[in-house]
Chains A and B, each alone.
Chain A
Amino acid sequence: MSDDKSNSLVTKPALAELVIENPWRSLQKHTNARIALGRAGSSLPTKAHLAFQLAHAQARDAVLMPLDYQQLAEDLAHFDLGVKHLRSQACDRSTYLQRPDLGRLLDEPSKQTLANDLASYDIVLVLTEGLSSAAIGENASSMLAAFLPRVVGLGLSIAPLIIVEQGRVAVGDDVAHALGAKMVAILVGERPGLSSPDSLGIYFTYQAYPGIEEAKRNCLSNIRSAGMSVDDAAFRLAYLIEQANQLGYSGVELKDKTESSNAKVGQNFLLP
């Protein structure tokens, strides 16, 4: 077989023509959706394909990478409230992902640890990786730094900071109940989106007990550098706590009146 023949079949394709770009790329200013990615044939060009793979890898790592509990405990020690390290009944990550019921319950030694604390507290703050260790690793300390001075300002007594390994939102109910705390706020890693692997959520409940309905909680979501700022979240959470402490309840009936609509509204440019 001579080289000449193969050379005549493939005649040095021009690189500039391998990817067909889309002329509507400037519309990306209106949305974070992955529009106008261009195409190689009809398929995703290499660059867009690998950008997706990177985003998915980061989201998977956020779910699967273990949280560095020792580092977290060291960071939390700076707040001078004491730190307790507890566990849910989900013994490993695979169990955690398949058995949400076990992630909602403290294991027996953890309950015992809390039962031995005889002090009474207005509020307990719980931290658990939930579905994103990155959310806690990257945002929890700065969230507490922004929030704790506000609680102190309200004159509320604060329990030692509680770390729960492999916890779901409702594990906070077990903590509050075992400790006899009046209010609980749990900081939990949210289910990572492709473009938001490090999103922190906070669920606040007044007089929580095991099995309390979800409707009794207030939620702040999407706390991360590209989402709700820790200062904004701290302000809102302190507002909810102050209101709940006065009214004696939390949940859907306790409206977050700090809400402001600052979303820019664009026009439908498809019509004349």
Chain B
Amino acid sequence: MAEFVMNAGGERFRFASLKELMAKASPLRSGDQLAGLAALSDHQRVAAQMALAELPLSHFLNEALIPYEQDEVTRLIVDSHDAQAFKAIAHMNVGDLRNYLLNEQVGAAELAALAPAFMPEMLAAVSKLMRIQDLILVASKCEVVTAFRNTLGLSGTLSTRLQPNHPTDDPAGVAASILDGLLYANGDAVIGINPATDNLQAVTTLMKMLDEVIQHYQIPTQSCVLSHVTTHLEAISLGAPVDLVFQSIAGTEQANQGFGINLALLDEAYIAALSLKRGTKGNNVMYFETGQGSALSSNSHHGVDQQTCEARAYAVARRYKPLLVNTVVGFIGPEYLYNGKQIIRAGLEDHFCGKLMGLPMGCDICYTNHADADQDDMDMLLVQLVSAGVNFIMGIPGSDDIMLNYQTTSFHDALFARQISGKKPAPEFEAWLQQQQITDDHGHLALKQQLPKAFDVVSKELRK
């Protein structure tokens, strides 16, 4: 294991290992403090960043943060690394990589070609040297397009997951939120519900309900019930209508064990999902959620800082060519990301690392009530992520998730983001919205006092 020394501002700093160097170079966040990994002073942090800038990228091929023998995520990262693609950047150090990524000549094609050359740790390292504007600029060059029943991630588009959660999964309550979302032009990334329980029957009931709604209204979108991957496998074997298979994932083998998964199980689920062939525009069939702090929360971080653990989770995601990857950035609470400033930076870091690895990144721009954050902080992150080209965000009635008790972006927020950026929903979904006269030719909401004709059955309910 290498030792790193850096003289900075008249003081000499030592870092005993690569993982210590990376942790000390991380911009301040409460989770790294909780783990006892954070820099002890701002001075030490910048010294670590300077040392990291001088580190050759090839060093990451030789020093694993978590030993190869102990961790299947490390094995996945090492074994899937594309040495041929890496040749183009093998002569760079981390600081050079930052300079290269910022170059105007480097665009979507170059970044897509380099995606298999990037180990997640390299991207985590370079992100630690970046300001917010760097994270935005570089990520905005990437275009990661995926497809199932519509086409997501095209530049110039911004999609939303319609999240119609209800504390008891009451069908009328879920239906009310779905209707609200559709009529506010949301739901092209997925109509995805967090079930109140992981009970198989309850989950398959919701799957059927979402499927019937999508079929009846001919909505060019896909459904997902965010239950455990094993529940999906059972549902598939029972013939339930599964569009996307969902799972929460993390960046270490042990943390994934805490989620009740490993790569073999994910392989099995991926094959099962592909076999259904329910996609019409493409066959990206997986939906993953991640978030900084998940490895530490199960004490499975191996002394690796939380942002680097998060980037490693993207190596797991990448294996399965997902339709959607969602970093749920502020959900975990203030012991990992204390305030709006920490949440905002983390969201942009995750989006940057994921995009450069070639993933269709979205972000659950969110906070809990015990975090020092509010709607203004979320507006800042939303605007910044839209500038960075985020593929999708959440959409929920009035920002208030009454089941999970946290606040995320609302249907209105998505309309705001589209309005200021000129971005549109996925093209197939946009055509449907216009056909239903929910939006006009300019993409503005057109609906006033009359529901669309296709929703006559709802009008009957309203007259009750």
Per-position contact with B for A157-173: 1 when CB-CB < 8 Å, else 0?
00000000000000000
Contact call B369/A193, Cβ cutoff below 8 A: yes
Distance, CA A268 to CA B212, complexed state (A):
10
Checking A27, A44, A55, A98 against B30 with a beta-carbon cut-off of 8 angstroms, the contacting residue is: A98
A131 adjacent to chain B (CB < 8 Å): yes
Binds A, one of B79-87, B97-105, B139-147, B454-462: B454-462
Chain A positions within 8 Å of B179 at CB level: 24, 27, 35, 270
User: Among A36, A63, A266, which residue has its beta carbon within 8 angstroms of that of B370?
Assistant: A63
Which residues of chain B come closer than 8 Å to A48, judged between CB atoms? Answer: 398
Q: Is A271 an interface residue (CB 8 A)?
A: yes
| Separation of A264 and B407 alpha carbons in the complex (Å) | 26
Interface residue A70 (Cβ < 8 Å from any Cβ of B): no
- Residues of B close to A196: CB separation below 8 A: 405
The verdict on B400 contacting chain A, using a C-beta distance below 8 Å, is: yes
Is A79 part of the binding interface, using a Cβ–Cβ cutoff of 8 Å?
no
Give every chain A residue within 8 A of B175 (Cβ-Cβ). 30, 266, 268-270
B286 at the interface (CB under 8 A from A): no
Q: Mark B386-415, 1 if CB is under 8 A from A, else 0.
A: 000000000011111010010100101001
Residue pair A191, B370 in contact (C-beta under 8 Å): yes
Query: Which residues 82-131 of A have a CB within 8 angstroms of B?
Result: 97-101, 131
Choose from B172, B370, B410 the contact partner of A269 (Cβ within 8 Å): B172
Contacts A35-B180, A60-B369, A268-B209 given; does A194 touch B173 at CB 8 Å: no
Q: B residues within 8 A CB of A268?
A: 171-172, 174-175, 209, 212-213
Interface-facing stretch out of B42-50, B123-131, B442-450: B442-450
Question: Quick one: which of B30, B180, B370, B407 has the most chain A CB within 10 A?
Answer: B370
Looking at the complex, which one of B171, B174, B180, B400 makes contact with A36 (CB distance below 8 Å)?
Answer: B180
Residue from A42, A43, A60, A195 with most neighbouring chain B CB atoms (10 Å):
A42
Interface size on B, residues (CB 8 A): 56
Q: For the complex, is A257 an interface residue (Cβ under 8 Å from B)?
A: no
CA separation between A62 and B165, bound complex, in Å? 24
Verify if B275 is at the interface (C-beta below 8 Å from A). no
With contacts A31-B170, A268-B174, A270-B178 taken as known, whether A194 is within 8 angstroms of B407 at the C-beta atoms is yes
Q: How distant is the Cα of A11 from the Cα of B130 in the complex, in angstroms?
A: 49
Shortest beta-carbon distance from B423 to chain A in Å? 13
Whether A56 pairs with B369 at a CB distance below 8 angstroms is yes
Minimum CB–CB distance from A141 to chain B (whole Å) comes to 24
Interface residue A32 (Cβ < 8 Å from any Cβ of B): yes
Determine the distance from Cα of A266 to Cα of B464 in the docked complex, in whole angstroms: 14
Asked if B369 contacts A23 (CB within 8 A), the reply is no
Evaluate contact between A97 and B449: CB separation under 8 angstroms: no
Which of chain A's residues 146-197 have a Cβ closer than 8 Å to chain B? 191-197
Residues of A with C-beta under 8 A to B172: 30-31, 266-269
Collect the chain B residues with CB atoms within 8 Å of residue A228's CB: none
Interchain CA distance A271-B183 in the complex, whole Å: 16
Interchain residue pairs with CB less than 8 A apart (22): A23-B451, A26-B462, A35-B397, A41-B419, A42-B444, A42-B445, A43-B416, A52-B398, A52-B399, A60-B369, A98-B335, A98-B338, A99-B335, A191-B369, A193-B402, A193-B405, A194-B407, A195-B400, A268-B171, A268-B209, A270-B457, A271-B213
Top 6 closest pairs, chain A to chain B, by CB: A34-B398, A266-B172, A193-B405, A42-B415, A31-B173, A59-B369
